[in-house]
Amino acid sequence: MIDTHCHLDFPPFAGKIRRVLMEAAEVGVTTVINPGTSWRSSQYAVELATENPELWAAVGIHPTEKESLSFNQLQTWRELATHRRVVAIGEVGLDYHHVREHPEETPSIHDQQVTFEQFVLIAEEVGKPLIVHAREAHLDALSVVRAVAGTEPTLIFHSFDGDQEVARQLLDAGAYLGFNNLLTYPKNEALRQVAAWVPLERILLETDAPYLPPQARRGETSAPADVVSVAQQIASLHNTTVEEVDIVTTRSARAVFALE
């Protein structure tokens, strides 16, 4: 089983990486992808992936991060993106929720789009998939990709929480949708219905650890091992077994991220 999105470079995991990865392996989670959210975060994600064979990195600037890109910085990002342990560009995208709720702390929509455009081009240039953070902005994010990319990179819409029509448009564009333990929260019945409708072959499992623990452990820190509860929820929604969910989603993840 693969956790396609977690943040082991974040403070809650300091000094605990090996233990966290071993605990994940004990429940069958043998591969983990760690997207960066800033320059420093991305560098650390690559460092961790170099030190831990179960771990792979993605590199990018989260849309809520106030981190600008100059021409020289772009070249440095391109070089990092070609690292042998980097399997994707991300976590990048658009976040309209934070613009509305925290305008003083969040880059403007225009600035987010400019940064996102640059990472779309980097993904296209290095030939790696794009992990997209899109909060209240799924179709705008898709529009940005289509506007700037000559050859669209494979898209993974991380922590998908849109409705079925949004899901349909993203699937029509060839995207994969990442689902996590949001599916276990009682209020998210509409999201569960969407996850039940999305073909299993286009679903990727993730935790977004240290965030979004399973409902049974709300308020605690999540970890890659918690991707098992996501698989259980998906299996229930698709009326199949956890083993089948594991087989299908692992096959998709290995293909999307070109994992060894």
pLDDT in tens, 61-120: 999 998 877 777 899 999 999 999 999 999 999 999 999 888 889 999 999 999 999 999
pLDDT for res 38: 95
pLDDT for res 69: 78
pLDDT for res 17: 96
The whole-number average pLDDT for the span 139-143 is 97
Q: What is the DSSP letter of 154?
A: P
pLDDT for res 150: 86
The whole-number average pLDDT for the span 39-64 is 97
What angle do helix axes 109-126 and 138-148 make, rounded to 10 degrees? Answer: 50
Q: Would you say 112 and 95 are in contact if contact means Cβ atoms under 8 Å apart?
A: yes
Give residue-wise pLDDT tens across range 200-245.
Answer: 999 999 999 999 999 999 999 999 999 999 999 999 999 999 999 9
pLDDT for res 73: 87
* pTM for this prediction: 0.96
Q: Would you say 28 and 3 are in contact if contact means Cβ atoms under 8 Å apart?
A: no
pLDDT for res 149: 85
What would the two tokens of residue 257 be?
A: 């991220």
Q: How confident is the model at residue 172 (pLDDT cuts 50, 70, 90)?
A: very high
Is 2-256 in CATH node 3.20.20.140? Answer: yes
Give residue-wise pLDDT tens across range 145-170.
Answer: 999 988 889 999 999 999 999 999 99
The C-alpha atoms of residue 134 and residue 175 are separated, in whole angstroms, by 13
The C-alpha atoms of residue 104 and residue 84 are separated, in whole angstroms, by 37
What would the two tokens of residue 145 be?
A: 């990709």
Residue 139, burial from CB neighbour count under 10 angstroms (0-12, 13-18, 19+):
middle
The C-alpha atoms of residue 259 and residue 71 are separated, in whole angstroms, by 30
Distance separating the N- and C-terminal Cα atoms of the chain: 14
Q: Would you say 119 and 138 are in contact if contact means Cβ atoms under 8 Å apart?
A: no
Among candidates 59, 39, 63, 70, which has minimal Cα distance to 112?
A: 63
Largest CA distance in the chain: 51
Q: CA 47, 50, 53, 58 torsion: positive or negative?
A: positive
The C-alpha atoms of residue 140 and residue 52 are separated, in whole angstroms, by 36
Contacts of 111 (CB under 8 A, 6+ apart): 68
Give residue-wise pLDDT tens across range 13-42.
Answer: 999 999 999 999 999 999 999 999 999 999
Q: Would you say 57 and 35 are in contact if contact means Cβ atoms under 8 Å apart?
A: yes
CB 174: neighbour CB atoms within 10 A? 11
